[in-house]
């Protein structure tokens, strides 16, 4: 039985007493954008892997799960160290696991040493997903864990906003510190990724491989190294998404399964292999789910339909534009 | 420079695409490679550049055996190629297309020197006004020019050009023609694959003919064009000549 996770719970729960007003809608939009950034972070990791390696990683959700557990245990074990280091640790470990997995299990496929590469990629990434899930089940057990908040907010009393240690108040809108930091760290990670992809020559080489593998190879770019880099970075982005959300939600070994499904929806919506598409897709799904849930006439059922709102948009986009919003590579 | 192709055989299932092809290029020269469709020209190019593994045979570049090496490793050893169908990086700018091969491999390389070199090549290829445009916004012919320019950034010793004139506007064909001459004058060896006989016979110093996977001729173009087996296999006879024979 799956435990409720961020992927099926709202960051803010719409209060039935709150009338539908401009402020309420704004609150829902902010809610949607904040969760959308984290959706996007994870989906961009998946799209990077698909775009460069031309495979779908079914272990993506497990890197998300792993990132969360690393932060949880880091905070438990190294209480004296700055908590931000736990996020760095999660990024390093998920990058390293992705690196090793790609080198050991996916390189033979890229080198043409595997007879049926498409089936192999599906099986081997599914295998990794099960391995990581059951490894964590064995190590930490099935009971939910939740990390404490990384930081306290400084206490400020302003005209339009005020803060307590745990909450930011913007008029009638309240945002918890944990969620605020989750979104800010995700935003920073996204900015770093976009800078790397579009401003560094290694990032441009990744784009080149994604656009034409053979053409990149004959001008001296090693596509095998680019495969490793893309998979490791993809794993790290999923790990970062988990790392920022473990302070907000309860964590179990199968927490990555719904997260992974959501990422698949986002990359198809945005256009397979498109980073801008995944970014926009994540934000759209986040906002649509938030608005749908908050404005649904029956609040008692709204939460149960949360995924449906995003899927309706997804179905409409596929009907009108089957390649997704940005149906192209990187 | 020395490229040695020794007894290359390539089988695709029951089909033998190359049947023991051998040749050597050991000096700067322009070698034309012609043959009817399906003769094995592109297969041979793919094998030399590491995109396909030969069934048997050996390829040596400057005394080093390169068959079995990956394409990027062969490119780094100074053997470059273009493709029959244009393969510019469409979602990178023209300048990024030029710089990414060198700077991705060595981010510490002198970027300004690289940019200067790229600008000179682009100016020669009449693409200098398009430096910041995305490659996808260029015409097919311009993309072909860009691919040729990108190749020069790596300073290869031997270049294989696969159908550089195909589908290109006559004005741009002239630019490609001049480009080939200039690259040859710079001391490179070029293997030119083309169905454009006028260009082949004007530019080539040596001509090789492939037919059904066999190298049926290799020599000076004027001699090769008179060989009966080449005429039968590819060039054909004039109607008048045929009438006379009849």
Cβ of B49 within 8 Å of Cβ of A224? The answer is: no
Tell me which residue in B72, B75, B104 faces A202 most closely, judged by beta carbons.
B104
**β-strand partners of B33:** B193, B208
Rounded to whole angstroms, what are the CA distances from B10 to A291, B21, B159, B214, B216?
61, 10, 22, 11, 17
Q: Count CB atoms within 10 A of the CB of residue A170.
A: 16
Q: B154 touching A, CB under 8 A?
A: yes
For A102-154, give the DSSP string.
Answer: IIIIIHHHHTT-SSSHHHHHHHHHHHHHHHHHHHHHHHH-SS-B-PPPS-PPP
Helices A306-320 and A256-270, interaxial angle, to 10°? 30
Convert the pLDDT of each residue in A125-182 to its tens digit: 999 999 999 999 999 999 999 998 888 888 888 888 888 888 888 887 888 888 889 9
- With a pLDDT cut of 90, the percent of chain B lying above it is 74
Report the distance separating Cα A216 and Cα B37, nearest Å.
Answer: 26
Length of chain A: 330
Report the distance separating Cα A152 and Cα A167, nearest Å.
Answer: 9
Report the distance separating Cα A303 and Cα A286, nearest Å.
Answer: 14
Looking at residue A14, its pLDDT comes to 46
Write out the E strands in A226-285. none
Report the distance separating Cα A26 and Cα A98, nearest Å.
Answer: 38
Looking at residue A148, its pLDDT comes to 87
Does the pLDDT of residue A12 top 50, yes or no? Answer: no
**β-strand partners of B139:** none
Does the pLDDT of residue B61 top 60, yes or no? Answer: yes
How confident is residue B239, by pLDDT bands cut at 50, 70 and 90?
low
CATH code of B160's domain: 3.40.50.300
Range name among A186-200, A229-243, A314-328, B195-209 with the lowest pLDDT average = A314-328
Looking at residue A3, its pLDDT comes to 44
Average pLDDT over residues A182-211: 95
How confident is residue A303, by pLDDT bands cut at 50, 70 and 90?
confident
Does the pLDDT of residue A78 top 60, yes or no? Answer: yes
Looking at residue B237, its pLDDT comes to 62
Average pLDDT over residues A309-313: 86
Chain B residues with CB-CB distance to A218 below 8 A:
49, 51, 71-72, 75, 80-81
Does the pLDDT of residue B212 top 50, yes or no? Answer: yes
Pairing of strands B189-193, B158-162: parallel
Report the distance separating Cα B5 and Cα B26, nearest Å.
Answer: 11
ipTM of the complex: 0.89
Looking at residue A236, its pLDDT comes to 98
Looking at residue A6, its pLDDT comes to 45
Q: Which residue from B minimizes the CA distance to A274? A: B91
Determine the distance from the C-alpha atom of residue B50 to the mean position of all C-alpha atoms in its chain, rounded to a whole number. Answer: 14
Cα dihedral B32, B33, B37, B43, rounded to 10, equals -140
Number of Cα atoms under 13 Å in the Cβ half of residue B151: 31
Cβ of B75 within 8 Å of Cβ of A328? The answer is: no
Range name among A166-170, A216-220, B37-41 with the lowest pLDDT average = A166-170
Rounded to two decimals, the pTM is 0.89
Close Cβ partners of B166 (under 8 Å, ≥ 6 residues apart): B84, B194, B195
Report the distance separating Cα B165 and Cα A70, nearest Å.
Answer: 57
Looking at residue B161, its pLDDT comes to 95
Structural domain including B223 reads 3-245
**β-strand partners of B235:** none
How confident is residue A24, by pLDDT bands cut at 50, 70 and 90?
confident
Average pLDDT over residues A110-134: 94
Looking at residue A18, its pLDDT comes to 52
Does the pLDDT of residue B10 top 80, yes or no? Answer: yes
The nearest CA of chain A is from the CA of B236 a distance in Å of 35
Cβ of B49 within 8 Å of Cβ of A200? The answer is: no
Q: B63 touching A, CB under 8 A?
A: no
Chain B residues with CB-CB distance to A200 below 8 A:
107
Convert the pLDDT of each residue in A38-62 to its tens digit: 999 999 999 999 999 999 999 999 9
Report the distance separating Cα B179 and Cα B172, nearest Å.
Answer: 10
Cβ of A211 within 8 Å of Cβ of B90? The answer is: yes
Average pLDDT over residues B166-180: 88
Average pLDDT value for chain A: 89
Does the pLDDT of residue A19 top 70, yes or no? Answer: no
The larger pLDDT score, comparing residue B72 to residue B235, is at B72
Looking at residue B238, its pLDDT comes to 57
Report the distance separating Cα B136 and Cα B154, nearest Å.
Answer: 22
Close Cβ partners of A122 (under 8 Å, ≥ 6 residues apart): A55, A56, A58
Chain A residues with CB-CB distance to B101 below 8 A:
219-221
Cβ of A329 within 8 Å of Cβ of B91? The answer is: yes
Task: For residue A169, give the 3-state DSSP assignment.
Answer: strand
Q: Which two tokens stand for residue B150?
A: 């990108």
Quote the number of domains for chain B.
Answer: 1
Pairing of strands B30-34, B206-211: parallel
Length of chain B: 246
Q: Which residue from B minimizes the CA distance to A226? A: B104
- With a pLDDT cut of 70, the percent of chain A lying above it is 93
Q: What angle do CA A136, A140, A144 make, to 5 degrees?
A: 100
Average pLDDT over residues B229-240: 70
CB A249 within 8 A of CB A69: no
Average pLDDT value for chain B: 91
Does the pLDDT of residue B128 top 80, yes or no? Answer: yes
Task: For residue A193, give the 3-state DSSP assignment.
Answer: helix
CB B98 within 8 A of CB B150: yes
Cβ of A221 within 8 Å of Cβ of B150? The answer is: no
CB A36 within 8 A of CB A205: no
Looking at residue A2, its pLDDT comes to 42
Looking at residue A10, its pLDDT comes to 45
CB A298 within 8 A of CB A39: no
Cβ of A215 within 8 Å of Cβ of B89? The answer is: yes
Helices A223-245 and A177-199, interaxial angle, to 10°? 170
Close Cβ partners of A139 (under 8 Å, ≥ 6 residues apart): none
Q: Which two tokens stand for residue B152?
A: 């020069």
Q: Which two tokens stand for residue A311?
A: 């899927």
Range name among A9-18, A95-104, B137-146, B189-198 with the lowest pLDDT average = A9-18
Does the pLDDT of residue B32 top 60, yes or no? Answer: yes
């Amino acid at each position: 039985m799956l435990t409720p996770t961020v992927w099926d719970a709202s960051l803010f729960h719409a209060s039935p007493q709150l009338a539908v007003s401009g402020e309420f809608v704004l609150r829902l939009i902010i809610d949607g954008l904040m969760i959308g950034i984290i959706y996007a972070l994870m989906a961009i990791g998946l799209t990077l892997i698909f775009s460069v390696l031309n495979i779908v990683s079914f272990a993506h959700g497990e890197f998300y799960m792993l990132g969360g557990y690393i932060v949880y245990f880091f905070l438990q074990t190294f209480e004296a160290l700055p908590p931000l280091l736990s996020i760095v640790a999660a990024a390093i470990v998920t990058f390293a696991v992705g690196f090793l997995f790609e080198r050991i299990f996916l390189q033979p496929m890229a080198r043409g040493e595997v007879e049926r590469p498409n089936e192999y990629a599906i099986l081997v990434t599914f295998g990794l997903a099960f391995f990581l899930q059951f490894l964590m089940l064995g190590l930490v057990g099935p009971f939910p864990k939740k990390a404490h908040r990384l930081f306290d907010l400084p206490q400020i009393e302003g005209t339009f906003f005020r803060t307590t240690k745990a909450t930011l108040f913007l008029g009638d809108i309240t945002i918890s510190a944990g969620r605020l930091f989750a979104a800010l760290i995700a935003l920073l990670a996204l900015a770093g990724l976009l800078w790397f992809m579009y401003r560094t020559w290694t990032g441009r080489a990744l784009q080149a491989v994604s656009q034409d593998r053979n053409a990149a190879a004959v001008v001296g770019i090693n596509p095998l190294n680019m495969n490793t880099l893309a998979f490791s970075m993809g794993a790290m982005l999923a790990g970062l998404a988990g790392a920022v959300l473990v302070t907000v939600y309860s964590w179990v070994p199968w927490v990555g399964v719904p997260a992974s499904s959501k990422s698949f929806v986002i990359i198809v919506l945005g256009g397979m292999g498109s980073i801008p598409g995944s970014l926009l897709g994540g934000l759209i799904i986040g906002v649509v789910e938030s608005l749908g849930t908050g404005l649904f006439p029956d609040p008692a059922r709204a939460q149960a339909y949360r995924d449906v709102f995003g899927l309706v948009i997804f179905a409409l986009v596929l009907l009108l534009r089957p390649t997704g919003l940005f149906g192209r590579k990187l | 420079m020395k490229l040695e192709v020794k007894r290359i055989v390539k089988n695709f299932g029951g089909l033998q695409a190359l049947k023991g092809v051998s040749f050597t290029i050991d000096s700067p020269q322009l070698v034309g490679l012609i043959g009817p469709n399906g003769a094995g020209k592109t297969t041979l190019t793919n094998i030399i550049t590491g995109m396909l593994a030969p069934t048997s045979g050996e390829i040596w570049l400057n005394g080093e055996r390169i068959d079995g090496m990956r394409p990027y490793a062969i490119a780094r050893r100074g053997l470059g190629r273009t493709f029959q169908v244009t393969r510019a990086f469409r979602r990178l700018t023209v300048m990024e297309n030029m710089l990414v091969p060198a700077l991705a491999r060595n981010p510490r390389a002198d970027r300004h020197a690289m940019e200067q070199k790229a600008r000179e090549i682009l100016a020669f290829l009449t693409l200098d006004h398009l430096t910041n445009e995305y490659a996808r916004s260029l015409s097919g012919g311009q993309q072909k020019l860009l691919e040729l320019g990108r190749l020069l950034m790596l300073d290869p010793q031997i270049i294989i050009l696969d159908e550089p004139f195909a589908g290109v506007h006559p004005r741009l064909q002239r630019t490609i023609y001049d480009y080939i001459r200039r690259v040859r004058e710079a001391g490179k060896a070029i293997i030119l694959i083309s169905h454009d006989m006028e260009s082949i016979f004007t530019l080539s110093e040596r001509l090789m003919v492939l037919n059904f996977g066999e190298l049926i001729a290799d020599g000076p173009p004027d001699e090769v064009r008179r060989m009966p087996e080449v005429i039968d296999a590819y060039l054909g006879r004039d109607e008048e000549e045929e009438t006379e024979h009849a």
